[in-house]
Amino acid sequence: MGLELKNLYDDFRNAETIKAYAKIIKEDAKKLEKPINIMEVCGGHTHTIMKYGILQLLPENIKFVHGPGCPVCIMPKERIDHAYVLAQQSDVILVTLGDMIKVPGSNGSLQDARSKGADVRFVYSPLDCLKIASENPDKKIIFFAIGFETTTPMTAALLNAVINKNIKNILFHINHVTVPEAMVALISDEECNIDAFLGPAHVSVISGSKIYEEFPRDYAKPVVVSGFEPVDVMQSISMIVKQFAEGRCALEVEYKRAVSREGNLKAQELIEKFFEKAQNFRWRGLGDIPRSGLRLKSEYDYLNAEIIYKDILPTQEINDHKLCICGDILRGKATPPECSIFGTACKPTTPIGSCMVSSEGACAAYYKYGNLI
């Protein structure tokens, strides 16, 4: 089994295949009337692009715009402040996914809160909250839920278990966001320079490729849903370039081994059972994006930590450091090395901007792999 998996990965990382796609892309790029700016929405793609030197394999008229990256990257400081305040309550155990540990709010990170005595726990699965709750019946377990469409079903599964088991000491602070609304906001911004998208892989497994149909239809922006391996990315780039060379504009799926048009219907049903669109959600580095977040339906207000603890939660919006240019990076107006604090004041151990906050952010990718290019 191990050998079979190794051989499978070898196929998707094969240097000769990558070079062959590079040759195809260069030939098709000669037919282009103008340069193409491709946004990779997911930070997993950004890291593949940087790690495998894909930028150096492409002709000069094919450029990348580094998108929102990941849910950790786009979490605004005021919501980190919510987590920080909740964690400080003597009767609370704050639980969240591990990537949140170093994300700075205005008062510090959850790692800082824990160093000051707060009970903050990091888990790989939301369902771990069930064990924590049973072991601490005198505590309120607050799950600080984050994620794009990929992780939302796991939060929904925990909600389902809490309700079915009638568990009284688990609450939820919901910070789930959805990708298409952010894509619309970016291409609607006159300062953005995006011609096409590499669609995120894991999001699309859950939601299906159907969520991108509006982009070629209504905005004349091709979308190719791509896997994460270098051969996936090169093939997806080739598909985008070929569309432009042939004068087409379509939604295509390169990652067919995992993504269907309809997606995971059971996961979608579970999400729809508990969540509805929030009126607004503020994305770090991008600002307010209407209907891009999820909230618990009102019938589950008794589980909603934002409502139960509303009197102690801060409401002020907190902007990033004035020297941070993450907003420009996400709009394709700048690259990470153009930031004056990149790699100095702002680095993975002391992140200041949204693109450095998570290991999947564009600045984090440039910091980690920049010396390889």
Kindly indicate the confidence band of residue 107, based on its pLDDT and cuts at 50, 70 and 90.
confident
What per-residue confidence (pLDDT) applies to 373?
A: 43
Q: What's the average model confidence in pLDDT over 27-39?
A: 96
67-76, 171-180, 228-237: range with lowest mean pLDDT:
67-76
35-44, 103-112, 177-186, 302-311: range with lowest mean pLDDT:
103-112
What per-residue confidence (pLDDT) applies to 372?
A: 45
325 or 208, which is more confident? 208
At residue 149, does pLDDT exceed 50?
A: yes
Kindly indicate the confidence band of residue 72, based on its pLDDT and cuts at 50, 70 and 90.
confident
Taken in order of first residue, the domains within the chain and their CATH numbers are 77-176+264-308 (3.40.50.11740)
Pairwise CA distance, residues 243 & 247, whole Å: 6
What per-residue confidence (pLDDT) applies to 319?
A: 80
- β-bridge pairing 92-97 and 140-147: parallel
What per-residue confidence (pLDDT) applies to 371?
A: 57
**DSSP 8-state assignment for residue 2:** H
At residue 3, does pLDDT exceed 60?
A: no
User: Which residues fall within 8 angstroms of residue 361, CB to CB, at 6 or more apart?
Assistant: 43, 46, 69, 70, 72, 73, 354, 355
What per-residue confidence (pLDDT) applies to 361?
A: 86
Q: What's the average model confidence in pLDDT over 200-219?
A: 97
335 or 313, which is more confident? 313
List pLDDT tens digits, range 248-299.
999 999 999 999 999 999 999 999 999 999 989 999 888 899 999 999 999 9
Own/partner long-range contacts of 264-271 (Cβ < 8 Å, ≥24 apart): 264/153, 264/205, 264/206, 264/208, 267/152, 267/153, 267/156, 267/206, 268/206, 268/207, 270/153, 270/156, 270/157, 270/160, 271/149, 271/152, 271/153, 271/156
Kindly indicate the confidence band of residue 2, based on its pLDDT and cuts at 50, 70 and 90.
low
What per-residue confidence (pLDDT) applies to 359?
A: 77
Kindly indicate the confidence band of residue 4, based on its pLDDT and cuts at 50, 70 and 90.
low
List pLDDT tens digits, range 171-188.
999 999 999 999 999 999
Q: What's the average model confidence in pLDDT over 210-221?
A: 98
At residue 88, does pLDDT exceed 80?
A: yes
Percent of the chain beyond pLDDT 70? 97
Pairwise CA distance, residues 212 & 94, whole Å: 35
Beta-ladder partners of 94: 120, 142
Cite the DSSP H helix spans in the chain. 2-12, 15-29, 43-51, 54-57, 77-87, 110-115, 128-135, 152-164, 179-188, 201-207, 214-218, 230-245, 265-274, 305-308, 326-330, 354-357, 362-369
Q: What's the average model confidence in pLDDT over 165-173?
A: 98
What per-residue confidence (pLDDT) applies to 6?
A: 57
